A and B are shown apart, each in its own frame.
Chain A
Amino acid sequence: MVIYGEKKTFDKKRIIGGTIAVIVIIAALWIRGFGVDTPSGERIQETRYFMDTVVTMQVLAENPEEKADKAFAAMQELADKADRFNPDSEVSRINQNAGQGPVEIDEEVFAIIEKGKRLGEETGGLFTIAIAPLMDLWGFGKGMQPSVPEEEEIKRILPLTALEGITIYPEENAVEIARGMEIDLGGIAKGAVVDHGMEILLSLGVEAAFINAGGDIRVHGVKEDGTPWRIGIRDPRREDRGHLTEHVVEADSGSVVTSGNYERYFTEDGERYHHILDPRTGYPAWGLQSVSVTGESCVTADVLSTAAFMMGDQALDFLENYPGYEGLIVDENGEILTTSNF
């Protein structure tokens, strides 16, 4: 039997105690994500199809399924109300009453229209929520057969896309459009619906979430390991639909939206025509392949990416000077341009 001296026993205890302390410190660091305040709960991912696109949501929270369900329901409801192809939507009521005075509408859809008009004016009318007649003329409306319209027809339709024909009555949540005009929130609704979904999640106490509606992405918080969300940007030059590996966005708050000419297009007489129509000319915008915009609000990023796409070589200057938002542009030669803080 070995008998320890008093001093030896004391040292042994101190060393074992020290070891335990080291383990506790390491465990604490591990649990706390090395100093980053990590959210608690379980992370789930759910994907659904609405707004004619695939919407994916990741929610990190207690009872994440229930919270995701609520957010999805609210998003779908707003999307339905803002869809001009839904005959019962708020937008359809405005369109059906074109030229017949103001129409009082739902508060949330009113907010989208008001924002769409204001942002459209900030872009000098390059983004317009009154684009529907031109989209339909080209056959880019839902279920239509696209074709190149006659020049005369384009000239006739263009005045109907001007924002001046839309009158907003904020006190009544009412909107009035001129005869022949039609509102189409296709260029703004996805971003607005994503913002709405995130607002719902945050109101339910969700600490971290990721929403992706067909490439319109908004994130909040950090993942369970304390790392930010990682978002790639589609490289329009790659046929495999891959991303720009040297430009991955890492964020714990904000949005990323991309507008590109590679998704919706048709070919006629050997010429390719895409769906981002320039209201100045009535023809597809040219000069760029894609514009990605980052910033807090998804709806603003959505509008800015569309408007900047029409600006060609002016797009970079526009985004550089737009407060709170940054941009990445792939021009027609495949050159990548970024604003200074992208």
Chain B
Amino acid sequence: MKSLLERWKDIRTGDKVIVGLVLILALAGVLYPLLWEWLGGDPGDLQVVINPVGAERQKISLGDIPEEGKGLIVPGPIGDHLVLIYPEGVRVIAPEDDPLKICEKTGWIRRPGATIVCVPNQLAIWLEGRDETGLDGISE
């Protein structure tokens, strides 16, 4: 009985190349997603969602925001919020009548899933996109 090595030697070079290519493709199919994940994958585009209760939700891509940023006035029951959008993150300035100004104290949000909430003004803002930390969420 011939060993596997001897049998392999009996096959034509062209067939060996085909077998080799098929194996490489199969392995690549397995390794590709792992390598993709390991290398960080597609960072995607970070988007800010501005959700005032009772008004239309806006979605803005941070990739479309100029370096100098963009200000957006969002009216609410207790006054106007100023939403400051920059390519690297978002923050808000609360209206004078906001008692705790939690939304302003929240400061910058920069990662997907991060939120800014203003309860008195019924405004919620959050970031969407691929989280490079690999987290599905943060308990806070």
Contact = CB atoms under 8 A, between A and B. Distances in A.
Interface in A1-45: 2, 8, 11-12, 14-16, 19, 22-23, 26-27, 29-30, 45
A268 to B, nearest CB: 12
Contacts of A23: 22-23, 26
A145 B117 contact: no
A64 B78 CA distance: 37
A241 B22 contact: no
A254 to B, nearest CB: 12
B8 A144 contact: no
Contacts of A8: 10-11
Contacts of A16: 15, 19
Q: How many interface residues does chain B have, given as a range?
A: 35 or more
A232 B51 contact: no
A241 B109 contact: yes
**Listed residue (B33, B124, B137) with the most chain A CB atoms within 10 angstroms of its CB:** B137
A53 B116 CA distance: 9
Chain B at the A interface: SS class: mixed
A44 B107 CA distance: 29
A266 B99 CA distance: 9
Interface in A265-297: 265-266, 292
A180 to B, nearest CB: 24
Contacts, number: 132
A19 B107 contact: no
Given A11-B10, A19-B19, A49 B53 contact: yes
Contacts of A11: 2, 7, 10-11
B10 A243 contact: no
A15 B19 contact: yes
A264 B102 contact: yes
B139 A216 contact: yes
A243 B135 contact: yes
Nearest to A14: B7
A229 interface: yes
A232 B138 contact: yes
A26 B30 contact: yes
Contacts of B133: 232, 243
A145 B57 CA distance: 28
B26 A215 contact: no
From B136, B139, B140, residue with most partner A Cβ within 10 Å = B139
Contacts of B15: 12, 16
A142 B119 contact: yes
A54 B30 CA distance: 37
Contacts of A205: none
A231 B29 contact: no
A264 B100 contact: yes
Contacts of A229: 136-137
A11 B7 CA distance: 6
A212 interface: yes
Contact of A26 (B8, B10, B29, B111): B29
B83 interface: no
A256 interface: yes
B95 to A, nearest CB: 13
Given A8-B10, A54-B124, A142-B120, 17 more contacts: A15-B7, A16-B19, A52-B117, A54-B115, A143-B99, A145-B99, A212-B137, A214-B140, A215-B138, A229-B137, A241-B106, A241-B114, A241-B138, A242-B111, A249-B139, A257-B139, A265-B100
Interface of A: 2, 8, 11-12, 14-16, 19, 22-23, 26-27, 29-30, 45, 47, 49, 52-54, 56, 58, 139, 142-146, 210, 212, 214-217, 219, 225, 229-234, 239-243, 248-249, 256-258, 260, 263-266, 292
30 contacts: A8-B11, A16-B15, A16-B19, A19-B19, A19-B22, A23-B22, A29-B30, A53-B115, A54-B124, A58-B136, A139-B99, A142-B120, A143-B99, A146-B99, A210-B136, A212-B137, A215-B139, A216-B139, A217-B139, A230-B134, A230-B135, A231-B137, A232-B135, A234-B140, A241-B109, A242-B111, A243-B133, A248-B135, A249-B139, A292-B139
